[in-house]
Amino acid sequence: MPRAGYNILPTTEPAQDVTPLQTVSPPQMSQSNNEWTGHTMTMTISLPHIARVRFWTFWTLLVFSMSMLPIAASLVQSQIPGAQDFGVGIASSLITTLIPVLVLARESKHKDAWTSWTAIELTWMFVCAICWSVTGGRSISNAMWTCNGMCFRWSYQGMGRCTNFSYTICREYRVLAVFSWMIFFMLSTLFIWEFAIAISAHKKGDRFIWKSPAHAYGKGGAIYLEAPSPAFGHSEATLTKGKKADEEAVAERPRTPSALDSI
């Protein structure tokens, strides 16, 4: 039997009319998360859903903030110059410890609680990110200008002095600086992710996104034009009007051409 992909020459044709053999690559078998087209492979990488990332980020923030609270309190009570400036570190630790606990506790009973609204979540994450950046910057500044290795810098006759107290303070500066910027990075990443989802949903006609949880949206960026009813504190009539307005907006939106139309 002739093999697929080759031009089989009849025996009656002269040799000089032989056409070059042309190979046709057989289609490759589709695999999960991979699409094969001839010799070209397109790989699709599945990213974690924001709900999962958000959940573990909140727990990480809780642990880090609880760890930084006693360090910030120790610096405030040390009576060194500028010690009171680390009060923002105490405030940041308390806020970032209490809010994730409150949010996760409310979500365990009500998935669409007001504490999970996109507008509220973006607000407190932005405030906390600013507070932690101030704490981290202050810690780095004090560590650079106060600590020299394991000692304090003393301006008197250019002399330095090492004590156990100075070693402890300098170590606390550095630890607080490192964890402050780690917390800032986590908050900023989650803030940008949720804000991007909210903007995308708002552009696609979802006017309820700011009063519904952004992490509840579908995996892979699926956008729904209405949020669950428990997310709103309005009457049933208001919800009905909102749903009707959404349906009218969808009906007026230009129809996207489908690939099926050309078949």
Give dist(CA 63, CA 248) in Å, integer. Answer: 47
Higher pLDDT, 239 or 130: 130
Higher pLDDT, 87 or 13: 87
What pLDDT digit, counting tens, does each position of 92-113 carry? Answer: 999 999 999 998 888 888 777 7
Give dist(CA 212, CA 231) in Å, integer. Answer: 6
What is the value of pTM for the model shown? 0.59
Give dist(CA 66, CA 96) in Å, integer. Answer: 9
Give dist(CA 146, CA 151) in Å, integer. Answer: 8
What pLDDT digit, counting tens, does each position of 226-244 carry? Answer: 444 444 444 455 556 667 7
